[in-house]
Structure 1
Amino acid sequence: MTPRDVSIAADLLLDARRKGVRLTSLPAPANPGSWDDAYAVQDHLVRKLGTRAGWKVGAITPEAEPFRAALTADTVFDGATRIPASRFNVIGVEAELVYRFSKTLIARQQLYGEDEVFDAVGSVHAAIEIVDTRFAAWNSVDRLAQVADQMNHGALVVGSGRPDWREVDPVNEPVSLSIDGKPVLETVGGNSAGDPLRMLVWLANTGARSLGGIKAGDLITTGSCTGTIFVEGPCRIAAEFPAVGRAMLEIA
């Protein structure tokens, strides 16, 4: 993709967010043909959206290469939150673990070791991510177009947590998700990426490089532990990780 194609794709996605116009697809020259293309569009979009507040990162299997999207402050919320349903095209609910970084890890040539990355983590939190799409229908475009569209990100609500995050075993941590007070899913672990900590190291060394690295205060959400459950408003959503905390969101 040329720089002009990247800009066209990002502008179309930005316009879809701001005006509620749903895209059937991206035009051929502006449709990403590679992961590098998709990340270039995504980065351009994020720069236009505003102040970066964190990242989402995930992987299809424990052995697969992770993928990422930078998140901006307008879609990241601390504590119990109320968001109107009209803000979204679709409302896909996921319970996730979020790690808040207390130290900056700038992009550099020398790779960060696992100890360096973990020493930069300040806390772990329960969270709810809402996945959404700027396209006409969920899963109606290919994977690279979804990556360009900020990896289907809609909103992230970060709940309570704990600073002694090393005491939490994320692979064996129970999680429950409830809608309007009724349990809809309970499982253990559940993240398709396996151990989410490996993705923090990947993000520090690879995923965050094009935007300068991870900064102190960044919130890194590490993939769904519950799969995606689609809802319609109004409803109240709660995600709980017993050893970590609880996140709450009202769709109005």
Structure 2
Amino acid sequence: MPTTHETLRAVLVASRRDRSLIEMAAQPVPASFLDGLAIQADIAKTLGHAEAGWKVAIAEDGTPVAGLMPGPWLAPGDVYDGAIGAELRVEIEIALRLAKDVPMRPNQPYSRAELLAHCDKAYLGIEIVESRLANWQGVPFALWLADALGHGGYYLGQELDMKVLDEVAGLTCFISLNGVTIYDQPAVHANGDPVAPFLAWANRKDELMGGLRAGQIVTTGSLCGGVLSPGKGEIVTKLAPLGGVSLTLR
């Protein structure tokens, strides 16, 4: 009988290859967050995904986690093609580019300043969250991890001053669909400091997903939560007053 690992690897690989959705309730749940990460890593290896970037987060129990972002990497104005029936959520974020490798150092944790010194650029980023799981509200987090935290694609917008990481308070997140506002609220990061999940992942104890390497993009987490798009069409996002990214969902 197939294990949970084998079952999820097979079904998620198939769904990503043919851009289909699977029923969450029909899937086994990994026994732990680390098991979820291991399955995600195996899926990425099977699909030949490049380690081009990472979305980092901190689980409710304090465990640092990450999702591989192999692409598509999109420019403002490009079209994002979602799977038929998939829920698409929009997240306004600040992304960082690594200028040099960040090797694991379990006995010498990185400081915030030291970690940021490994980065040379910050960007306004827009993540499209598109899970392979249909009806994924309330999904067990270990299963969400196996699905790469629902990563769909990423838009890299304009370059920002690195100081924005210290000045999130006072910024505003705005999203509209086909000219109708669907979100307009102050920017808030779930961990307070946008660098917190990146720092937690850099100081992780287990290497399951691959390393933090020069040239990769690390996104620091949403400043607006995951905003469900009620339909397809022209999306305008703004991290006011700094700038914005326009795109098309299709």
Instruction: Please state which band the TM-score falls in when normalised by the shorter chain.
Output: 0.7 to 0.9
Measure how far apart 1:233 and its partner are: 4.7
Aligned residue in 2 for 1:230: 228
- Paired position in structure 1 for 2:13: 14
CA distance in 2, matches of 1:235, 1:247: 14
Residues paired across the two proteins, number: 246
Given residue 214 of structure 2, which amino acid in structure 1 is its aligned partner?
A
- Measured against aligned partners, the alpha-carbon deviations of 1:42-67 in whole angstroms (never above 9, x if no partner) come to 11112233111111123478x95443
Paired position in structure 2 for 1:127: 125
**1:33-52 paired onto structure 2 within 5 Å:** 33-49=31-47, 50-52=49-51
Aligned letter for 1:202?
A: A
Task: Tell me how far apart the structure 2 counterparts of residues 87 and 98 of structure 1 sit (CA, whole Å).
Answer: 28
1:216 aligns with 2:209: no
**Is residue 73 of structure 2 the alignment partner of residue 76 of structure 1?**
yes
**Equivalent residue, structure 2, for 1:101:** 98
Q: Once the two structures are superposed, what CA deviation does each residue of 1:184-227 show, in whole Å capped at 9, x if it has no partner?
A: 22222222221111222112121883334211121122222222
Q: Is the 8 A contact 1:53 1:76 kept in 2?
A: no
In 2 relative to 1, CA 209–87 (structure 1 residues): closer, same or farther, beyond 3 Å? farther
Give the deviation of 1:159 after TM superposition. Answer: 0.9
In structure 1, the gaps of 5 or more residues are none
TM-score by length of 1: 0.84
Higher helix share: 1
For 1:15 and 1:217, locate their aligned partners in 2 and report how far apart those are by CA, in whole Å. 29
Any conservation in 2 of the 1:177–1:239 contact (CA below 8 Å)? Answer: yes
Identity %: 24
Equivalent residue number for residue 189 of structure 1 = 187
RMSD of Structure 2 on Structure 1 (CA): 2.7
